[in-house]
Amino acid sequence: MQNKSSVTFEQIIEFNKNRIYRICKIYSLHPLEPQDLFQDVVSEIWKSFSTFNGKSNINTWIYKITLNVCLRSKQKSVTENKKFVRLESIEFIPVEVPQDKSQQEKYKALASCISLLEENNKSIIILYLEGLPYKDIAVITGLTENHIAVKMKRIRKILLNCITNKL
């Protein structure tokens, strides 16, 4: 999916919905937040859709909006959490979580380790795990492709140490 002229907004969202949701899920602090964040992202994409100028791949543009909305929401949540107590009693178990206990344990360890990363490193590893090449990650984050490669080497080392300690 390269340009906006040949596809509709609905097709773009349909094509990217799983990617958007995975990123929303990673940035969520509570079980039901990914759904709200997903709606916020889709709303922001809708508002900005007419301004997409085609200078980058539309999927790269979608990732950039998704990350920006998630980061803004997280900052807002941190501020609001100082004022409000959230209900922690609701437990939501997503369907796509691996059912195999060993896989589930590895998934939880990876998610936990990713959550400990600095925000910019977290964004980079999320985009990498989504299968984006360094070139696209560089466009989305505003860093150079070389810088992404260096950061990825460091992030992998941090994650390996963290996961090794958890498993």
The reply to whether 87 and 122 lie within a common domain is no
**Of 96, 128, 152, which residue sits at a domain end?**
96
- Are the C-beta atoms of residues 109 and 167 closer than 8 Å to each other? yes
The reply to whether 55 and 126 lie within a common domain is no
The reply to whether 66 and 105 lie within a common domain is no
Q: CA separation (Å) from 33 to 29, 53, 86, 88, 93?
A: 7, 31, 12, 12, 13
Q: Does pLDDT of 156 surpass 50?
A: yes
Instruction: Kindly report, residue by residue over 103-131, the tens digit of the pLDDT.
Output: 888 888 888 899 889 988 998 998 998 88
The reply to whether 82 and 104 lie within a common domain is no
The confidence score (pLDDT) of residue 41 equals 93
Instruction: Kindly report, residue by residue over 79-104, the tens digit of the pLDDT.
Output: 655 554 444 444 545 555 556 777 88
* Mean pLDDT of the residues in the chain: 82
**Of 96, 121, 142, which residue sits at a domain end?**
96
The confidence score (pLDDT) of residue 81 equals 56
The reply to whether 92 and 15 lie within a common domain is yes
Query: How many domains does one find in the chain?
Result: 2
The reply to whether 11 and 89 lie within a common domain is yes
The reply to whether 108 and 42 lie within a common domain is no
Q: For residue 29, name the pLDDT band (cuts at 50, 70, 90).
A: confident
For the question of whether the overall pTM of this predicted structure is more than 0.85, the answer is no
Range of the domain at 89: 1-96
The confidence score (pLDDT) of residue 33 equals 83
